């Protein structure tokens, strides 16, 4: 382990730096490799016309973000079961995203895995993560709200005995964790539509969650969050407009999964929904758009997700991204404030 565990604040900031450097140094090599093999992004035909020039831009930059996170955790953190589970959830959702990205490249289309295929993959990931978190990481099936209010989701629990091991399955909490992890993964994925948008907003959210983990006295998860933020920083150097590479579903699904996993492991699920408020807003804009069009034949937004709506209104891509970073920071500040009011 690099650094002095007696100074966890120092380790957290060092983790950001190390992860950013690793991602920043390896990313150019990855970009050259992808360009050489002609592995590039497919652009949706119904999107903003200004995005058509991005066709062929290397994708799957998330591979290097994940590599930076894993190496940083190996260097800086103790391999506790909580940390290993968070890393495992990130890598599993990242692998699902990688399969999706490869499918897009091979079939040369903007859509990869079918929704059913993604859902099956996410369901398997959530089930494994959930069983380990509840039975081996002391995660309580309780949802805590600011003000001391809480809801016990462990009232419908099945206890199984397998090879002498006792496994508890609180079903209501399982449903909640599935909605959180699968929802947050897809929410970050929906946000990843402009140069620098997903990378910047995830960076902000993960820095806030690192602070949450630090206050929860889990320095290893704080280092994990810091490494995710640092990986995004290294990636953003090459993803800033005009982007040289995109993170792809490999990065967006993995980072969304990482955020949700940390929330469950620290029992701060409600806080994470506020911290990731921008991602929730992006998802709600799509849901509202689809529901409105099916019900009335009319669209609420010029285009969904909502960042494209503002592009259609004439905002420059960079203006949308920077203003969304500001909104994300505001959500992060609110989430951190509410964290100190949890029961």
State percent of the chain over pLDDT 90: 80
pLDDT one-digit tens code per residue, 265-305: 999 999 999 999 999 999 999 999 999 999 999 999 999 99
Distance CA 263, CA 271 (A): 8
pLDDT one-digit tens code per residue, 321-330: 999 999 999 9
> Is residue 139 over pLDDT 80?
yes
pLDDT one-digit tens code per residue, 149-160: 999 999 999 998
Predicted confidence band at 20 (pLDDT cuts at 50, 70, 90)?
A: very high
pLDDT (average), residues 29-50: 73
Name 168's bridge partners. Answer: 159
Predicted confidence band at 46 (pLDDT cuts at 50, 70, 90)?
A: low
Domain boundaries, the chain: 8-271
pLDDT of residue 251: 97
pLDDT (average), residues 53-62: 82
pLDDT of residue 48: 60
Name 144's bridge partners. Answer: 150
The secondary structure of 316-341, three-state, reads: CHHHHHHHHHHHHHHHHHHHHHHHCC
Q: Look up residue 177 and give its two tokens.
A: 């964790």
State percent of the chain over pLDDT 70: 92
CA angle 264–59–290, rounded 5-degree value: 60
pLDDT of residue 165: 86
pLDDT (average), residues 302-314: 95
């Amino acid at each position: 382990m690099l650094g002095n565990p007696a100074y966890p604040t120092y380790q957290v900031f060092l983790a950001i730096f190390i992860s950013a450097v690793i991602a920043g140094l390896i990313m150019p090599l990855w970009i050259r490799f992808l360009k050489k093999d002609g592995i590039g992004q497919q652009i949706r035909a119904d999107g903003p016309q200004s995005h058509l020039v991005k066709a062929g831009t290397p994708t799957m930059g998330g591979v290097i973000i994940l590599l930076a996170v894993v190496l940083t955790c190996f260097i800086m953190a103790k391999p506790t079961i909580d940390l290993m589970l968070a890393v495992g959830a990130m890598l599993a959702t990242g692998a699902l995203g990688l399969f999706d990205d490869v499918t897009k490249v091979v079939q040369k289309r903007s859509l990869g895995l079918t929704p059913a295929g993604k859902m099956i993959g996410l369901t398997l990931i959530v089930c494994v993560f959930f069983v380990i978190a509840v039975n081996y990481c002391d995660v309580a099936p309780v949802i805590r709200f600011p003000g001391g209010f809480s809801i016990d989701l462990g009232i419908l629990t099945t206890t199984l005995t397998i090879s002498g091991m006792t496994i508890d399955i609180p079903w209501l909490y399982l449903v909640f964790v599935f909605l959180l992890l699968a929802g947050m993964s897809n929410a970050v994925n929906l946000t990843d539509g402009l140069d620098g948008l997903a990378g910047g907003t995830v960076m902000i959210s993960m820095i806030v969650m690192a602070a949450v983990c630090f206050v929860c006295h889990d320095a290893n998860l704080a280092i994990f969050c810091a490494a995710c933020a640092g990986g995004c920083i290294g990636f953003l150097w090459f993803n800033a407009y005009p982007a040289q590479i995109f993170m792809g579903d490999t990065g967006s699904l993995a980072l969304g999964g990482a955020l949700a996993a940390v929330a469950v492991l620290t029992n701060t699920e409600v806080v994470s929904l506020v911290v990731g408020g921008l991602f929730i807003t992006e998802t709600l804009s799509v849901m509202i758009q689809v529901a409105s069009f099916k019900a009335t034949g009319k669209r609420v937004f010029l285009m969904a997700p909502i960042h494209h709506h503002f592009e259609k209104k004439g905002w420059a891509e960079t203006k949308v991204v920077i203003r969304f970073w500001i909104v994300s920071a505001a959500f992060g500040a609110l989430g951190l404030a509410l964290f100190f009011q949890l029961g």
